Structure 1
Amino acid sequence: MEKPEFEELLRAIGHEFNDPTLLQRAITHSSFANEAGHSEDYERLEFLGDAVLELIVSHMLLDRFPEHKEGELSRLRASAVNRHTLATIARRLGMGEFVQMSRGEEKTGGREKETILADVFEAVIGAIYLDGGLGAAGSFIERYFDLLFAGADERILFTDYKTRLQEASQAQLAATPTYRILETTGPDHDKRFVVEVSIGRAPYGTGTGKSKKEAEQQAAKVAYERLVPEGMAEKDAEE
């Protein structure tokens, strides 16, 4: 990466690195590391950044929603720290154009893949944490999640259909939903899952997604809307 481009990325992130090689590693995809013969990509930093992100967001939720109980906070956190949200923030920062990846990965649209963007965002958090500590990482995270939490009612923004379906099915049918993968297609870097949800022995819906979790949420949404009448579903969302 040329120096002007690297400095542009530093400005976008807003953290002055004492060790810029940490950021360099945070934007290095495994395809580039393998192609260039490098030993390190962003995956270890992503692992660390994921833990730091969960800690900081947990603290933010405690402060912002003092009336919420543990279960509600857990659902909010799980819904906030998801691939789509992280990829959206990464796009705002323009991270995709700075990721070092192989030509093959780039040709398949790697710079716009949600999985890669979300992973890089977490890796950058890990890099900031190692370079500047928890305070620096927290400031970076809060800058974007403060806007997210302030931008919409959390009940609408964070819809967890798996939880809603479980609560509704237990109340109405005294049964817990179960999920199974019907189909997995695509290469490792771009898989697609088809999941079916059943209540008791009856199938209630199917969903597709680029991860098992996303497909399960889509299937749960179909099943929930089938199980709960529209008016009741709206009332449940408002409670």
Structure 2
Amino acid sequence: MTTLEPDTRDWLEAQGFAVSEETRWLEALTHGSYNGAGGGAIDYQRLEFLGDRVLGLSVAAWLYRAGDGPEGRLSQRLNALVSGATCARIARAIGLPAHIRLGKQARDDGGADSDKILGDVMEALIGACFIENGFDAAQATVYRLWASELEGDVGKAKHPKSALQEWAAGNKRQMPVYEVTDRSGPDHAARFTVKVSVRNVGEAEATASSKGEAERLAAKAFLERHG
């Protein structure tokens, strides 16, 4: 039977995850490319699905109790706080990349530093915590790991795409047009390049690990250049 590496178990417990059934945590840390788990086809996707909902409810409850503005603003902050980019940022901060179980090719391709994989595994760990220890424990873990994000400014500023749309309307320009100009890398470590243009004004380009993030960065670059 496959068990957690001692340093991985120590790391999980140091982050506040109470480990009982090791198989659950192995599943949360295993990418689909990994074939060393006794040939078994376990991966984090089911736990990620669950953890995504636990994370969303936990953060939504925190925002509601914080009295953090009207529904539209709450939704904006929620989306930012539970985004893949935020999950990946927290994953890096706690040292998660060293403990993800990846196949050799996926690791060589940079999978351990992929926002998509790190974000998904972070959610899977929350899902495992929920299954093992219940919602209250999972929520408490989210609040501890997300503390600086919740207390900070994540999601408070207007989204660059919304800001650019308002800028175009306010300056009587046509609406921005977004176009994917390049996609590279394997599916688990893809890179998207997006160009945003406003007719008779100019354009800007950005690259990120998701189409949405590339659009956000391109809009931000446009506003910095032309706004």
Q: What residue is the counterpart of 1:231 in the other structure?
A: none
Q: Percent of aligned positions with the same letter in both sequences?
A: 34
Query: Which sections of structure 2, spanning at least 5 residues, go unmatched?
Result: none
Q: What residue is the counterpart of 1:125 in the other structure?
A: 126
Q: What residue is the counterpart of 2:193 in the other structure?
A: 194
Q: What residue is the counterpart of 1:184 in the other structure?
A: 183
Equivalent runs, 1:104-115 vs 2, <5 Å: 104-115=105-116
Q: One-letter code of the match for 2:27?
A: R
SS at match of 1:53: helix
Cα 1:158/1:29, change in 2 over 3 Å: farther
Cα 1:61/1:38, change in 2 over 3 Å: same
Q: What residue is the counterpart of 2:17 in the other structure?
A: 15
Q: What residue is the counterpart of 1:54 in the other structure?
A: 56
Equivalent runs, 1:1-239 vs 2, <5 Å: 3-33=5-35, 37-64=39-66, 66-150=67-151, 152-154=152-154, 160-173=159-172, 175-199=174-198, 204-228=203-227
The answer to whether the Cα contact below 8 Å between 2:55 and 2:123 also exists between their aligned partners in 1 is: yes
Query: Which sections of structure 1, spanning at least 5 residues, go unmatched?
Result: 229-239
Deviation at 1:136, TM superposition (A): 1.4
Cα 1:36/1:184, change in 2 over 3 Å: farther
Give RMSD over aligned pairs: 2.5
Deviation at 1:102, TM superposition (A): 1.5
Cα 1:132/1:181, change in 2 over 3 Å: same
Q: One-letter code of the match for 2:76?
A: R
Deviation at 1:158, TM superposition (A): 5.0
**Number of residue pairs matched?**
225
Instruction: Provide the C-alpha distance between the structure 1 equivalents of 2:83 and 2:157, rounded to a whole number of angstroms.
Output: 10
Cα 1:205/1:92, change in 2 over 3 Å: closer
TM-score w.r.t. the length of structure 2 is 0.86
TM-score w.r.t. the length of structure 1 is 0.82
Instruction: Provide the C-alpha distance between the structure 2 equivalents of 1:120 and 1:47, rounded to a whole number of angstroms.
Output: 10
